[in-house]
């Protein structure tokens, strides 16, 4: 089954404790992206990657890191999480055919930073 898999689904952590949210897709998509979704603010892009070893900032990259060492994986790293990073996070992927390809979303990761 074609899918984007995120782990974990739920994560509660404390301020300053480094964490990684994993994302993997099995559709051979070149493009992958991370979004956060907050009430009243909608979906905002954190980082995206056009292909292996190619990453770029989205709208809200501060406090986050990403890497793209393999085509299928695009982990999101919070080196020192803070409470304002409490949010619902989505990984998504699509073919890199310009902007016409729709995004496929993972099931989301609900992160709480205390």
| Binding positions for other proteins, rule: CB under 8 A | 31, 33, 40-45, 48, 50, 56, 58, 90, 98-100, 102-108
* Closest distance to other proteins from the beta carbon of 23 (Å): 12
Residue with Cβ nearer other proteins (59 or 79): 59
CB 87 within 8 A of CB 78: no
Question: Which of 26, 21, 92 minimizes the C-alpha distance to 58?
Answer: 92
DSSP label at residue 18: -
* Closest distance to other proteins from the beta carbon of 98 (Å): 4
19-25: strand order across its sheet = 4-7, 19-25, 76-78, 65-66
* Closest distance to other proteins from the beta carbon of 91 (Å): 9
Residue with Cβ nearer other proteins (15 or 39): 39
């Amino acid at each position: 089954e074609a899918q984007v898999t995120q782990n974990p689904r739920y994560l509660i952590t404390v301020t300053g404790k480094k964490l990684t949210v994993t994302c993997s897709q099995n559709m051979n998509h070149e493009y992958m992206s991370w979004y956060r979704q907050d009430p009243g603010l909608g979906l905002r892009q954190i980082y995206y990657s056009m292909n292996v070893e190619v990453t770029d900032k989205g709208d809200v990259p501060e406090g986050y890191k990403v890497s793209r060492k393999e085509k299928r994986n695009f982990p999101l790293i919070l080196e020192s999480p803070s409470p304002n990073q409490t949010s619902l996070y989505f990984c998504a992927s699509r073919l890199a055919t310009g902007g016409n390809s729709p995004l496929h979303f993972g099931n989301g990761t609900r992160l709480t930073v205390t």
